[in-house]
Chains A and B, each alone.
Chain A
């Protein structure tokens, strides 16, 4: 995976070597690095798109077979002609590329006539992220806190309670949780609306449901890495220096133990746009998830490729974001090319 992991771990031994984050020229190097990564990203995007395009045409079926049962042969002919599906795949691919480079368009949905793929993504990705990003953020922050508490209070009551929450969060499927929440908070105690979109109240239940699983994951990761860190010599050293416990946790423990959680933050952010499908369909949220899944089911070729490109882009971007966060949080980490 040469494109995804270009971060070089140049770790110095733990000790007293002082590290000055603001080295001269570092900012410029960072920009150069980011630019290079973006260049790679475009390359990856191109490759993924190409592979998706051809794979997609290998699957039997087309958008029409998903819809109409009794088809006169003539419909197929007219239909293929209308969407250019009668041409060889290579030619369709070239037309698709031409669309991107000359008109900046990803084409029009076949299943939903008149909806531009690009517009659709722009419009509905926002709804998904309103739920998803907040959920991941809540999951991350709360997970970090719970995980830390759990590790510090290892084997004591808080640890046990938090462990139960974490295990539930990992093992409970999201649709079950959603149905449960819906029953409890919209029927039993009607605090929130059941279905739909529009008011802030509509967002609370979906966000709660979606944050539960990331919360559990981060808690588990954080707990184990905090346990790892608090047994290190430099923590004992810091305590010996007379730092207060909370200072030790904030300055040394958190910084050193947050990296594993950061690593999964990237994929988690990307999942917001595809993994939200279940929640979106249960709560009738107009997000992108439903578009992506129905596009695949209905063989809506332009929509599939558009969503795949979007997803790939978000995924790579979030990896880049995480890599940059690494450097900010742990100055021992250098980006490749930094030190030459």
Chain B
């Protein structure tokens, strides 16, 4: 009995040891959930599916370190009005040896606009000629502004100038004969999927793990150093923590200060800030009796001690925000934050005393200039940190401005309904930006009515609209910077509070990682250092 037991223990340990003895160029990463499908044009393609496709497919362009770089296209040209793009497709091969052609890219576009596919992210490609009408069933697929004159050339015609076109539009190939042979099952399993990227899919234990192995037929295979990427499906924080510690997992993202502290003190791990495009901010109702005054809004914004706030709320994992866009958002690898100072910081330098500014504002409104007689209603949607948030704002505004803050807590849906109806005074919420820098700015356009701040500016509208239509990166950055200054500082339509940042925790011998949140590089340049 003892012998059997001992043998069993040995066996178990052996198996564990074999598991831990990873091949040199192999890494294990995770996704929170199982990819719904690997069919890039399916209605329900999700982030996990896109993540796998960065490795297993070959888009015309990839976003690498924030900039778009040629990938599946060898070169491209555009005509003078930047409405027609011509791509030269690179010599690349599907894993079964068939050449990737322009027709494969064309087919994927045709599938996206095909109404019967009900592709979900269709608005991303509305900039392509006739895409919207075809998707609505008013035109035939053949009239789409994408053509493939020969197998090396793909031509895309746009409706209007779209500077972020290469970043936003999904430019992935799909092979018609294969997709049609598999029907609905395309992309739901190893046998029903065809790779043409740096890696190929070789195993898929649903809800457990996907296995990607280097694809020797990939055009740039010589520069792909990893031999194998395992993608574990795990959505339990403690499990991932254990897996990081014992070497099962090589990469993790977390915003939990306790875990971060542990990994930062361990030389075996690299911790890097992973800026997300999300901004937490305070929304002022510009229609309100009190808040219609710019100085009042500016004073409220300046009275928020952001350093103190992030320290108290997030143990400074999230950085304080003084502008609209975080370091994640930019144009072609240049973040707006790199070229423009944060507007609220600049404003703060010119206003030494927010309380005096607040009193000035009260005088302008013809109100009693005693701030202690002012009570503002602070609306917030209920969540785990609601009470702490309320207490912090009460403390900050109470102490610095001397006003009273009354809290109004409701569920997100009714909170947001009230905000949209203008039935609030001050609210706080978070909003996520997208790879296209214009997304966050468009929220504040007078005619978009997406963000109920009710503080609008014609100058802002002009700047944003002309920046949206320009393809000169420098000019765009300048205009967005000016527009940002107007909304955040001059008008103080909202008060930015903090950016969201996750920590990427990586085993320190793993190099070549792209920490840009919008990166579509996949694991193409990642390698394990000896």
Contact = CB atoms under 8 A, between A and B. Distances in A.
Given A194-B239, A201-B15, A285-B207, A186 B246 contact: yes
Given A187-B246, A284-B209, A284-B233, A114 B44 contact: no
Contact of B37 (A75, A113, A284, A287): A113
A196 B188 contact: no
Interface in A248-299: 280-287, 290-291, 294
B13 A197 contact: no
Interface stretch (B119-127, B328-336, B490-498): B119-127
19 contacts: A72-B126, A75-B43, A75-B118, A75-B119, A78-B118, A81-B118, A112-B37, A112-B188, A114-B187, A179-B236, A179-B238, A187-B246, A194-B239, A194-B249, A195-B243, A199-B19, A284-B239, A285-B207, A294-B34
B238 A182 contact: yes
Interface in A196-227: 196-201, 204
Contact of A114 (B34, B37, B209): B37
A63 B44 CA distance: 8
B509 interface: no
B12 A196 contact: no
Given A68-B120, A195-B249, A78 B115 contact: yes
Given A112-B36, A191-B16, A193-B15, 4 more contacts: A112-B188, A183-B242, A194-B249, A291-B207
**Band of interface residues on B:** 35 or more
A323 interface: no
B24 interface: no
Contact of A198 (B42, B185, B205): B205
A67 interface: yes
B341 to A, nearest CB: 31
Contact of A204 (B12, B13, B36): B12
B12 A201 contact: yes
B246 A196 contact: no
Contact of A111 (B9, B44, B186, B205): B44
Nearest to A110: B44
A71 interface: yes
Given A72-B122, A282-B239, A284-B233, A113 B43 contact: yes
Contacts of A124: 206-207
A192 B15 CA distance: 8
B254 interface: no
A108 interface: yes
Nearest to B114: A78
Interface centre among B44, B126, B188 (most CB of A within 10 A): B44
A229 B236 CA distance: 45
A320 to B, nearest CB: 30
A103 B225 CA distance: 49
A25 B6 CA distance: 52
A287 B205 CA distance: 10
B514 interface: no
B13 A191 contact: yes
Interface size class of A (residues with CB under 8 A): 35 or more
B470 interface: no
B33 interface: yes
A173 interface: no
A171 interface: no
B75 interface: no
Contacts of A46: none
Contact of A79 (B20, B118, B187, B205): B118
A199 B15 contact: yes
Interface in B65-119: 115-119
Interface of A: 63-64, 67-68, 70-72, 74-75, 78-79, 81-82, 108, 110-115, 123-124, 175, 178-179, 182-183, 186-187, 190-201, 204, 280-287, 290-291, 294
Contact of A197 (B118, B192, B205, B239): B205
B120 A113 contact: no
Given A74-B135, A112-B36, A82 B116 contact: yes
Given A182-B242, A190-B20, A286-B206, A113 B42 contact: yes
B16 A201 contact: yes
A187 B15 CA distance: 15
Contact of A194 (B13, B132, B183, B242): B242
The residue among A63, A187, A284 with the most chain B CB atoms within 10 A of its own CB is A284
Contacts of B118: 75, 78-79, 81-82
Contacts of A282: 234, 236, 238-239
A78 B245 contact: no
A74 B208 contact: no
B154 interface: no
A179 B16 contact: no
Nearest to B248: A194
Contacts of A291: 207
A283 B33 CA distance: 13
A190 B243 CA distance: 11
A124 B44 CA distance: 21
Interface string B248-276: 11000000000000000000000000000
Given A71-B120, A197-B208, A64 B242 contact: no
A84 B32 CA distance: 30
B16 A192 contact: yes
Contacts of A79: 43, 118, 120
B311 interface: no
Interface in B125-146: 126, 132, 135-137
A50 B175 CA distance: 41
Contacts of B115: 74, 78, 81
Nearest to B116: A82
A281 B30 CA distance: 13
B34 A290 contact: yes
Contact of A187 (B39, B205, B235, B242): B242
